[in-house]
Amino acid sequence: MLQIESRTLKDTTLSWGKFFIGVAAAGTIMTGLVATANATNVSGCDFDDTTVPGTWSLQGDCTTTAPINVPAGTTVEGNNFTINGGYTFGSNGAGTNTVIGVIGADGVTINDLTVDGTGGTLLHGINVYDSSNVALNDITVKNNDKSGLGVNSSTVTVNNLTTVGN
């Protein structure tokens, strides 16, 4: 088991078949809840998606009730808020184990966000699977029982990623 206590990556492009920060493990294929366009509440978190088309703007700190799967072409503005993992893997019936999923979704950008797994059990922080042109900017992932960031069969550009306690 590989554990990275606290590291920061800056201006790094990841383009490997499998990549995990926090835990070296086999990839996990995620299925389940997918957020829909014009959603105001996604898995227990409130987003404003009415101001800029294709942009979800987090409105405050929140705790998830299920994974937040971000659809293709979406920009998530975290606004320096925190999304806490709030469920146990398998407890929601969706069969997924991540706080935020970018699954088969090209052209996703996530900015200025902390993902804290303290309230969840057996969760990854962010999982990017089978996606390209994904950008993570100014992201902190911490306290997840599984990996902080998993990248599998995807291309992800990372700018200022901090991981702690995954």
Residue 19 has pLDDT above 60, yes or no: no
Predicted confidence (pLDDT) at residue 30 exceeds the cutoff of 60: no
The number of CA neighbours under 13 Å toward the Cβ of 121 is: 6
Report the pLDDT value the prediction gives residue 51, as an integer from 0 to 100: 79
Cβ-contact 114, 137 below 8 angstroms: no
Contact (Cβ atoms closer than 8 angstroms) between residue 128 and residue 97: no
HSE value, Cβ hemisphere, 13 Å, CA-based, for 73: 6
**pLDDT tops 80 at residue 129:** yes
Whether the predicted pLDDT of 18 surpasses 50: no
Do the Cβ atoms of 25 and 147 come closer than 8 Å?
yes
Helices (H) and strands (E) in the chain, counts: 0, 15
Return d(Cα 41, Cα 36) in angstroms, integer: 10
Q: Are 98 and 126 in contact (CB under 8 A)?
A: yes
Phi, psi (5° rounding) for residue 53? -55, 135
Q: In the prediction, which pLDDT does 95 show?
A: 53
What does the pLDDT look like over 67-106, one tens digit per residue? Answer: 999 999 999 999 999 999 998 887 555 557 899 999 999 9
Q: What are phi and psi of 63, to 5 degrees?
A: -125, 130
19-23, 88-92, 124-128: the lowest-pLDDT one: 19-23
Provide the pLDDT confidence category of residue 140 given band limits of 50, 70 and 90.
very high
